[in-house]
């Protein structure tokens, strides 16, 4: 039997494999598709290049210092961007713009978290409020912007807020700070060297009308160069010289207040308290004068556009006014209402007023204390008298 003849082997063939450049192109298209799907509506714009966050694994200690709430911890974001520049708009109108050193997007939470930020808030007339802070966050498809850490907010007229948190709601045109956050504010450059500042826990500011509501533990301070005299007592030459060399400071404390920056008025009020708490009055304090009442109204500002000078303080209900002097025969007064006029330097007492000095008591329908001349006018329903102490 002859040996079999082996047929020649067919050479092996391989299926064509796409070249590496084509593979990179396909992967790139997939990434771009994901980015487009995550990006907010076409009316909102973000400048920069989102990149895979796995390339930017930062220092874990830095990640633990995140101030913004709701940001996933111990989890890398899907995308990150350096030089973040984002504009939120509604119906073609700008609402706010956010610029950050770095921003990260968390796909599942639809959340953008930014660090080292500057935000620009636009009102209906395109005036700009500028906000600086350490961090910010917003949710994709939503309009509210939250800012955290050493937040400084400067309004177009120079008014400035400082806090560790703010939330801006463009649909309601409001800046909000919850009660747990302490906030301070101060007026901008004044034409009459007067300054208005405040401290509070929490804040609600209406961008549209400029009204600021301070809801808790309020202290308002107004300082000005005009010296203030005591209630019905002449200062000696040393005191007068000291007054000329210092700013007169008026401090008002209350549970809550409302500042109308357009009308240049402030309304103060108290919450219901138990008698035992002894915190039942709006309190006004100067270097030489103390006064209190259940409510207070303040008018400030003159014809100058940036003036913060006190014009009129009105105390209402259960009013008491007292000198802060070292003499044993202090003058003090009680009434249902007291009007302190800065321009006239007078105190007008109404609603059963009484003025006490030592063993003397003065009563009448209206009592006017002239602080410049140390004189007291008393008006009766059918008579009028004037005299000096």
What is the model's pLDDT at position 389? 47
pLDDT at 383: 45
For the domain with range 180-389, which CATH number is right: 3.40.50.720, 2.60.450.10, 3.40.50.300, 3.40.47.10?
2.60.450.10
Number of Cβ within a 10 Å radius of residue 150: 13
> Helix, strand or coil for residue 108?
coil
Residue 3 has pLDDT above 90, yes or no: no
- SS3 string of 46-64? EECCCEEHHHHCCCHHHHC
Residue-wise pLDDT tens digits, 283-334: 999 988 999 999 999 999 876 666 788 899 999 999 999 988 755 556 889 9
More confident residue, 9 or 217: 217
pLDDT at 246: 41
3-state secondary structure of 101: strand
Residue 35 DSSP code:
H
CB 293 within 8 A of CB 300: no
pLDDT tens-digit readout, 326-385: 555 568 899 999 999 988 989 999 999 999 987 888 999 999 988 888 788 999 865 444
Mean pLDDT of 171-198: 86
Residue ranges of the chain assigned to CATH 2.60.450.10: 42-67+75-172, 180-389
Nearest to 77 by CA among 111, 116, 36: 111
The SS3 assignment for 8 reads coil
Task: Look at the domain 42-67+75-172 and name its fold.
Answer: lipopolysaccharide transport protein A fold (2.60.450)
Query: Chain centroid to CA 132: how far?
Result: 13
* Per-residue pLDDT reduced to its tens digit, 201-247: 999 999 888 899 999 999 999 987 654 444 444 445 445 444 443 44
pTM: 0.76
Mean pLDDT of the chain: 79
Average of pLDDT values for 274-281? 67
SS3 389: coil
Six-digit token string for 220: 């308002």
């Amino acid at each position: 039997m002859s040996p079999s003849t082996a047929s020649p082997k067919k050479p092996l063939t391989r299926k064509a494999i796409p070249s590496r450049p084509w593979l990179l192109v396909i992967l790139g298209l997939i990434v771009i598709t994901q980015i487009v799907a995550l990006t907010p509506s076409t009316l909102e714009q973000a400048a920069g290049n989102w990149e895979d966050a796995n390339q930017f694994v930062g220092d874990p200690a830095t990640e633990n210092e995140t101030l913004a709430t709701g940001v996933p911890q111990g989890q890398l974001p899907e995308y990150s961007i350096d030089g973040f520049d984002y504009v939120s708009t509604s119906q073609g109108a700008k609402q706010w713009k956010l610029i950050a050193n770095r921003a990260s997007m968390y796909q599942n939470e639809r959340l953008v978290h930014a660090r080292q930020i500057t935000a620009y808030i636009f009102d209906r007339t395109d005036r700009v409020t500028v906000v600086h802070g350490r961090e910010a966050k917003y949710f994709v498809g939503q309009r509210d912007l939250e800012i955290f850490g050493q937040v400084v907010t400067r309004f177009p007229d120079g008014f400035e807020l400082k806090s560790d948190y703010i939330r801006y709601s463009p649909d309601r045109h409001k800046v909000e700070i919850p009660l747990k956050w302490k906030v301070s504010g101060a007026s901008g450059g004044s034409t009459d060297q007067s300054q208005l500042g405040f401290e509070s826990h929490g804040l609600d500011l209406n961008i549209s009308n400029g009204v600021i509501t301070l809801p808790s533990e309020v202290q308002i301070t107004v300082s000005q160069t005009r010296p203030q005299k005591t209630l019905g007592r002449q200062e000696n030459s040393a005191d007068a010289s000291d007054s000329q060399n210092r700013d007169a400071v008026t401090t008002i404390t209350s549970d809550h207040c409302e500042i109308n920056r357009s009308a240049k008025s402030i309304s103060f009020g108290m919450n219901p308290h138990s008698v035992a708490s002894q915190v039942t009055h709006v309190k006004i304090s100067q270097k030489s004068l103390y006064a209190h009442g259940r409510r207070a109204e303040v008018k400030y500002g003159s014809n100058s556009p940036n003036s913060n000078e006190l014009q009129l303080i009105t105390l209402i209900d259960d009013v008491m006014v007292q000198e802060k002097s070292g003499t044993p025969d202090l003058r003090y007064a009680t009434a249902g209402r007291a009007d302190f006029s800065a321009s006239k330097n007078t105190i007008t007492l109404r609603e059963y007023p009484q003025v006490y000095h030592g063993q003397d008591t003065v009563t009448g329908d209206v009592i006017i204390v002239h602080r410049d001349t140390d004189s007291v006018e008393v008006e009766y329903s059918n008579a009028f008298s004037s005299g000096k102490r």
